Amino acid sequence: MNRRSLSSWTSRRSRRGRVRCAAAAAVAVCALAATAVAPHAAADAPPAASRAAELPEHALVGYLHASFANGSGYTRLADVPDSWDIIDLAFGEPTSVTSGDIRFSLCPPAECPGVESQAEFKAAVKAKQQAGKKVLISIGGQNGQVRLTTPQARDTFVDSVSSIIDTYGLDGLDIDFEGHSLSQDDGDTDFENPTTPVIVHLISALRTLKERYGDDFTLTMAPETFFVQLGHQYYGSGPWGGQDPRAGAYLPVIHALRDDLTLLHVQDYNSGPVMGLDGQYHTMGGADFHVAMTDMLLTGFPVAGDPDKVFPALRPEQVAIGMPATPQAGNGHVPPAEVEKALDCLTKGAACGPYTPHGTWPALRGLMAWSVNWDRYGGDKFAATFDQYFG
């Protein structure tokens, strides 16, 4: 997610109860025929993670610009409106691309007038948690490229992320790896058995963190469509090479950690056209794009068009829809009426457009926005839409 606004695909309680695609040209040599796809439900889906059970039935996730300033203005953690259930602190970033050493610090006062002290920030974390919110450290973003190429980088990642979580008393971790953080080596074509070091080491690191903190550890991910849904059409460099090796690169990570994953909120913005399960290309900017992209996560899909390699469906309570809160926040912003249409279609089977999803999912967890700051800049309209719909 871009610190200023997000550019392009190629270059984020009692009220409800607790209950980047230039690569397409490079891969045209193995373009798939457009074919309709039947649902692929997850077999023997595991019970919901205990952490997910502690979330509201429908949750709103937002990124807080905690370490930097941009045109949206600085918001103190204590001033984040009560609507936001999961607050992702943006961002923890590495000391170098391959070090695995993640650092987080509050925005400098010269850049963010009014920034709180460390003590005030820690107190705000506790206050949010006492109010039933989750506060996570988000790693990566547009500028934070992370490649865990070695076991040493993996171990450093675990230790440095743990240090941030312990220092601020956080609830867990959000993975927002973008750009070239994840890619697959030539010949790595099976998402169920990855061999690429940066993917294998990331999976290992996240499992270690989960084991270290136990069932109370909240794990979320915010990949771009290029790294997830594009995997239906293209996966890695392909069987003959020549494709963008980043295509679908999140799939092995999501799949390996699906039993531990609290929430996946793909960034349905700054995206090129993506082929849906109907064999048609869908473009951002309306409810239909969100319906088609979310349907893929909740139905499952063949990876690289191979019916023998199906990415299984996620549970609806593990899925939220990622959107820009305002037009300034990223390409693909939709007005509140389109947000509601997408939710109606996915949760009720009503108000669907040209794309017909393969089911209805009333338990869809909710929405994610880039960002809390941009929403406040725009008059809190995104949060208000969520509250009105699910309130």
pLDDT band for 54, please (50, 70, 90 cuts): confident
Would 118 be classed as within a structural domain?
Answer: yes
Cross-strand partners of 287? none
- Specify the pLDDT at position 52: 46
Torsional class of 179: left (φ above 0), alpha (ψ -120 to 50), beta (otherwise): left
Amino acid at 130: Q
Would 79 be classed as within a structural domain?
Answer: yes
Would 135 be classed as within a structural domain?
Answer: yes
Would 9 be classed as within a structural domain?
Answer: no
Q: Among residues 208, 298, 303, which one has the least CA distance to residue 260? A: 208
Give, as one character, the DSSP assignment of residue 209. Answer: H
Number of domains in the chain: 1
**Contact, 286 vs 342, CB < 8 A?**
no
DSSP string, 230-279: GGGT--TT-TTS-S-TTTTTTHHHHHHTTTT--EE--B-SS---EE-TTS
Would 11 be classed as within a structural domain?
Answer: no
The mean pLDDT value of the chain amounts to 89
Helices 336-348 and 287-299, packing angle to 10 deg: 30
Would 385 be classed as within a structural domain?
Answer: yes
Instruction: State the catalytic residues.
Output: 178
Angle at 250 between CA 248 and CA 251, to 5 degrees: 70
Q: What pLDDT, in 10s, does the model give residues 275-293?
A: 999 999 999 999 999 999 9
Q: CA 57 to CA 243: how far, in whole Å? A: 40
Per residue, what are the HEC states of 291-311?
A: HHHHHHHHHCEEECCEEEEEE
Would 229 be classed as within a structural domain?
Answer: yes
Q: What pLDDT, in 10s, does the model give residues 216-243?
A: 999 999 999 999 999 999 999 998 889 9
Angle at 271 between CA 368 and CA 75, to 5 degrees: 35
- Looking at residue 114, which CATH number applies to its domain? 3.20.20.80
Cross-strand partners of 286? none
- Specify the pLDDT at position 3: 57
Q: What pLDDT, in 10s, does the model give residues 258-277?
A: 999 999 999 999 999 999 99
In percent, how much of the chain has pLDDT > 90?
Answer: 83
Residue 167, SS3? helix
Q: What pLDDT, in 10s, does the model give residues 137-168?
A: 999 998 889 999 999 999 999 999 999 999 99
Task: Give me 176's structure tokens.
Answer: 């927002």
**Cα-only R_g, the chain:** 19
Asked if pLDDT for residue 4 goes beyond 50, the answer is no
Q: CA 16 to CA 238: how far, in whole Å? A: 45
Q: CA 144 to CA 94: how far, in whole Å? A: 6
Instruction: Give the other-Cβ count within 10 Å of 149's Cβ.
Output: 15
- Containing domain of residue 137, as a range? 23-390
Q: What pLDDT, in 10s, does the model give residues 82-128?
A: 999 999 999 999 999 999 999 999 999 999 999 999 999 999 999 99
Would 7 be classed as within a structural domain?
Answer: no
Task: Give 3-state DSSP helix, strand, coil % of the chain, rounded to 5.
Answer: 30, 15, 50
In percent, how much of the chain has pLDDT > 70?
Answer: 87
CA atoms 134, 137, 142, 146: torsion sign: negative
Q: What pLDDT, in 10s, does the model give residues 316-342?
A: 999 999 999 999 999 999 999 999 999
